[in-house]
Structure 1
Amino acid sequence: MTTHSSPGLTVRAACSLLAGVAVLALPGCGSGEDGKASTPTPRAAADGTDLNACKDGTCEVKVTGPVTLPVDRKKFKIGKLETKPEKDDTVSFTITDSGNSFTSVQVCGTDGQCFDLGGGGYSSGGDGQSGRSSTSWTAGAGTRTTANGIVITVLSAADGSAILRVTPA
């Protein structure tokens, strides 16, 4: 995730500041009945923690630790897809290709800017045995990644857990 900044103020800090001003300007907003600030209820994943829902390439799951998403690799032309929510409100991804495959990865941030990461490809030691290659990246909430036939959207990421939406490209 790219963080843009201006002297002394990051975009994230500016948005937090503006959100705080908006809450102060709108009486009652963001407060519970007792006047204390309320915490928004975390969004629930449509498929809960059932990773098997991802096999067909369509799911919305909550992940709380390192997992391999079990998408149909042949159907979606993608290698092994591993993901891990981090404590800094991001999600780490790694796609490992083996054999004669290539994964093209494009990551698009919430600002609409997209970056092509290329991807893993075929490698050989000259003895006819295939090698492995991998592509890794980290994404925050709102980031959309397209990897060959799959689109992965980070719907939320906080405190070491994330909700991911996987759809066919």
Structure 2
Amino acid sequence: MTAADGSDAEACGDGNCEIAVREPVTIRVKIPDGPAKLALTKVGRNKVAYKVTAGRSRTSGEASGAGSGCVAVFRSGGSSSSCGVAGKPPGKVDGAVVLQVVAGADGTALVRVVSD
């Protein structure tokens, strides 16, 4: 997989990035409730898992299978997430930060972060 920002996790610090990673990594991002840590905990062939920690709040997800992925949307005061077949890259959502992780057949995970 190729990504607009290569494999540079620091590109996500401004709330907008697309990176490809081959191993677990921790990325610092800013969500509406403040700073957060996105940890890709599993990266493998058609497999990806993540956990986001912000203060006392946590959300996580895991997907496996061809074309699988997860999307999480962070708004002030809460978040929602779902995993399954990866869709198109996320668009901007007013007042929110959107995270998408997509598992690749080559063992690479694509991470996209989009903020308004």
Q: CA deviation at 1:56?
A: 0.6
Aligned mates of 2:37, 2:103 — CA distance in 1: 22
1:54-69 equivalences under 5 Å are 54-69=12-27
Between structures 1 and 2, the one with greater helix share: 1
- Indicate the residue corresponding to 1:92 in structure 2: 49
CA deviation vs aligned residue, 1:27-58 (integer Å, no higher than 9, x gap): xxxxxxxxxxxxxxxx4101000111101110
- Indicate the residue corresponding to 1:143 in structure 2: 70
Unpaired runs of 5+ in structure 1?
Answer: 1-42, 102-119, 121-133
Task: Using CA pairs under 8 Å that are at least 6 residues apart, name the structure with larger relative contact order, 1 or 2.
Answer: 2
> Residues 58 and 156 (structure 1 numbering): CA distance in 2 closer, same or farther, change over 3 Å?
same
- Indicate the residue corresponding to 2:91 in structure 1: none
1:74-153 equivalences under 5 Å are 77=34, 79-98=36-55, 120=57, 134-139=58-63, 141-148=68-75, 149-153=96-100
> Residues 57 and 76 (structure 1 numbering): CA distance in 2 closer, same or farther, change over 3 Å?
farther
The one-letter amino acid paired with 1:166 is V
Aligned mates of 2:54, 2:33 — CA distance in 1: 13
Match of 2:107 among 150, 156, 160: 160
> Residues 84 and 147 (structure 1 numbering): CA distance in 2 closer, same or farther, change over 3 Å?
same
| Identity level (%) | 34
> Residues 46 and 85 (structure 1 numbering): CA distance in 2 closer, same or farther, change over 3 Å?
farther
| Higher gyration radius (CA) | 1
Give the TM-score of the pair, scaled to structure 1. Answer: 0.46
Q: CA deviation at 1:159?
A: 4.3
Q: Is the 8 A contact 1:63 1:85 kept in 2?
A: no
Aligned mates of 2:25, 2:98 — CA distance in 1: 17
Q: CA deviation at 1:155?
A: 4.2
How large is the RMSD of aligned CA atoms in angstroms? 2.5
Q: Is the 8 A contact 1:64 1:160 kept in 2?
A: yes
Q: CA deviation at 1:157?
A: 2.4
Between structures 1 and 2, the one with greater strand share: 2
Q: Is the 8 A contact 1:144 1:151 kept in 2?
A: yes
